[in-house]
Amino acid sequence: MSEQHSKARHRRGRKALAVGVPLALTVSGVLAYGTDLGFLGADAQQRAAAATAAAPAWAKATADGFASLNSLGQNGTYGGRDAQIVTVRTQADLEKYATAAEPYVIVVAGTITMNPVGKEIKVQSDKTIVGSGTAGHIVGGGFFLGTGVHNVIIRNLTIRDAYQGIWNDKDHDFDAIQMDGAHHVWIDHNDLRHMADGLIDVRKDSTNVTVSWNKLSNDNKAFGIGWTDNVVTDITIHHNWIRETEQRNPSTDNAAHAHLYNNFLEDVAGTDIKSSYGNYSRGKTKMVLENSYFQGMNNPVIKDSTATLVQRGSVFSGTSGRNESGGTAFDPKTYYAYALDAAANLPALLKSEAGPRSSIGTTSSAGTSTKAAATTLTVAKDGSGQYSTVQAAVNAVPANNASRVVIAVKPGTYRETVKVPSNKPHVTIQGTGGSRKDTVIVYNNAAGTPKPGGGTYGTGGSATVAVEADDFQARNLTISNDFDEKANQNLSGHQAVALRTAADKVFLDGIITEGDQDTLLLDTAAKDRLGRVYVRNSYITGNVDFIFGRASAVIDRSVITLKKRWDGTSAGYVTAPSTAANRKGILIANSAVNGDVSASSFFLGRPWHAGGDATLDPQTTVRNTTLSAAVKSTPWTDMSGFSWKDDRFAEYKNTGPGSGAAGSNRPHLTDAQAAGQEVADWLGDWTPTAS
């Protein structure tokens, strides 16, 4: 943040307010709260210090966007970080801790029905209120943050059902979250729906607010900002899925800086709820709108004559009416760093990742993790971790380890190859940055690259990361092969694998895999061995056979990006399964296939009978997935003398310009057949769980 902006914020004349616990004071519970802790005795101080040291990562999460800035006497938004963690299951306990003067991390571990209906708990400063997995529900009421309340985080909750039977209700001001004059508030990963009035109201000079990764739905008024003549509010709104809401999506009145990016606004056809408008810049608002997706919205973007609105990079699909911009606003990057997702990817991304997540805030009644603590090894290029390379950390995992080992990799680019051998199961490689783009493991071997000891690597040997151990997980990172085909035309064998798996129970969650030919090899340890792989909330980029192998693999709620060839041409194949007979092959479900390539240039797949093995029975099913115009109208093709019609290739209820009606060259599953080709059918007795 610039010095000029910081000074301007302090000139608003507000009194500096007490803040939460600074990071520098977290050595012990005593230091965090002063010398006597007030309400705690000496024994309790020791317990608090121990609890602080063991606090899970989600309890230390901090906001991004305008909520992260240092202003009004508050340096960022971190809620009750380093404070006592308490678990609540009743309205009385929730009120007790939320309204307390002391900082708390409050875990909502069940459904709390508010009495009376419409009650909004008056949250005080320095609080984190977080749902335990997906179990935290607030029914028939919500939260209120009054004047001067600051440093509050509300995450991972479902707040719902205060609706009183009147659609545009003027008599019941029942909101999910309302703030009047609050500052430094982060609303993240919540499901807000079916309330009597607004889902979120940011009112009366509330500022330094970030609203991210939420689902807002089934309501007349989604999200209002303003109710003041003062041009004060600074707000960031990103990665929210707003659907089936009529107005205020959001309506932004007299906001000094409103930064809206990567939101998905959806008006579903054939329902009773019709959108009046989408994003609205009014009064003296300065709004920057970037890379959002508007589906079926009426008047998707509107502005007053007095407001400014700069928009760029958004997608408008099936919209009608006003779509406006004008004036100059501001550059958000002068205030904070952020990265944009491509607008076309948002429907798949937000349908999978917005709202409460099962892996956040899972605690016991004592406030401690319900899972056995994993061993954690840290990797950092700058020497601040235990290891400076990922492979060194893998090497440190004991052979035949019986419990989970998490390799936490700090942001940076790690140019190396990594192999997790079969005798090191239960390994997780996890990036620790704010984005999966922050931590990158990359190398550039290809099938034809000479090996130091002679010969070449071959396709499987070219992998940047090779996983041969069962129960492997990867999340929040990028795995890439950046082999340069154009510069190596004299090389024989341009297959260049980013990630190869040859194991069972492999969970790839929230990652990016990038390459050209043969990006993602999903294999098994042997032809007769089961190898299940579940890929969720991820991005996969390539051009030729770039999802391939004999594993029983699910690509779920992910984005598959088609890439041009090295010479600029558009042609390729998404999948090349080599499935053994009587096994499941590749299932792509609830995802999106798109990319900056020519129309009708890519096949969905072709049968890979590895080594000419006629006993194989390759399978790809693509279902409930959005297909761009890049997909051919005859999406399957033959390979190496084997006809795709002799194997198992089918679609079911796909959408988008690349989808098509059933025919002899485009088989569709019947409803009965589709019932046996669900995600659970691929995974069997395995339920992937983040660990």
Q: Which residues are catalytic?
A: 518, 545
Edge to edge, the sheet with strand 308-312 lists 85-88, 104-108, 127-131, 150-155, 183-188, 207-212, 233-238, 255-261, 286-290, 308-312
Helix (H) or strand (E) segment spanning residue 349: helix 346-353
Please report, for residues 301, 405, 505, 565, the alpha-carbon distance to residue 523 in angstroms, rounded to integers and kept in the order given.
47, 23, 12, 24
Q: Is 170 exposed, middle or buried (0-12, 13-18, 19+ CB in 10 A)?
A: exposed
Pairing of strands 74-75, 70-71: antiparallel
User: How remote is the C-alpha of 153 from its chain's centroid?
Assistant: 18
User: How remote is the C-alpha of 310 from its chain's centroid?
Assistant: 26
Rounded CA separation 198/203 (Å): 12
Other CB atoms within 10 Å distance of the CB of residue 398: 11
| Residue 560 exposure: Cα atoms within 13 Å on the Cβ side | 33
Q: Which residue type does 272 have?
A: D
In sequence order, the 6+-apart residues with CB closer than 8 A to the CB of 139 are 111, 112, 113, 114, 160, 161
Nearest CA to 264 out of 340, 345, 195 is that of: 345
Q: Is 634 exposed, middle or buried (0-12, 13-18, 19+ CB in 10 A)?
A: middle
Rounded CA separation 448/461 (Å): 10
- Collapsing DSSP to helix, strand or coil, 593 comes out as strand
Rounded CA separation 327/79 (Å): 36
Tokens of 592: 């999106």
Name the DSSP class of 546: E
| Residue 299 exposure: Cα atoms within 13 Å on the Cβ side | 16
Edge to edge, the sheet with strand 592-594 lists 412-415, 439-443, 478-481, 512-514, 539-542, 559-562, 592-594, 626-627
In sequence order, the 6+-apart residues with CB closer than 8 A to the CB of 627 are 593, 604, 654, 655, 656, 657, 658, 659
